[in-house]
Amino acid sequence: MCVNTVQVPKTVPEWKNVANNFFLQWQFPNCIGSLDGKHVRIQPPPNSGSLYYNYKHFNSIVLLALVDAGYNFLYVDIGSYGRISDGRVFNSCSLLTAVEQQALEIRADEQLPNSNCTTPYVIVADEAFTLKKY
């Protein structure tokens, strides 16, 4: 089950604004979001077996979120079984599909501030997520 907020940037200027705020707030250029998952504790439905039982040894659903530099939600996916890893949730969510199909108008490369070096825009995440060029 996926719930998306209406705040997902969809134009080049909107993504550039997100990246500018990451640079101003965190001195992290060309960053368009921070991505992570959170296990939300639940009482599992009857007869659900181990679907909701996670590696932290409690029952949960996964909330996957992309946030901007001010911790505002840009994208939310909630409802995956707790036993599913953050990376697997991302691999099946609509955000990845949109990025892969280039539906979000994210520029491929941008010059770093005060530099001649050009780098891609990035989403910062932990090791649960596969490193990809896009």
Q: What is the pLDDT of residues 62-105, one digit of tens each?
A: 999 999 999 999 999 999 999 999 999 999 999 999 999 989 99
For 96-125, what is the mean pLDDT? Answer: 90
Instruction: Indicate the pTM of the whole model.
Output: 0.89
Residue 132, pLDDT score: 84
For 18-50, what is each residue's pLDDT tens digit? 999 999 999 999 999 999 999 999 999 999 999
Residue 36 structure tokens: 């992570």
Residue 61 to residue 51: CA distance in whole angstroms: 9
Determine contact, residues 88/130, Cβ cutoff 8 Å: no
d(CA 108, CA 100): 12
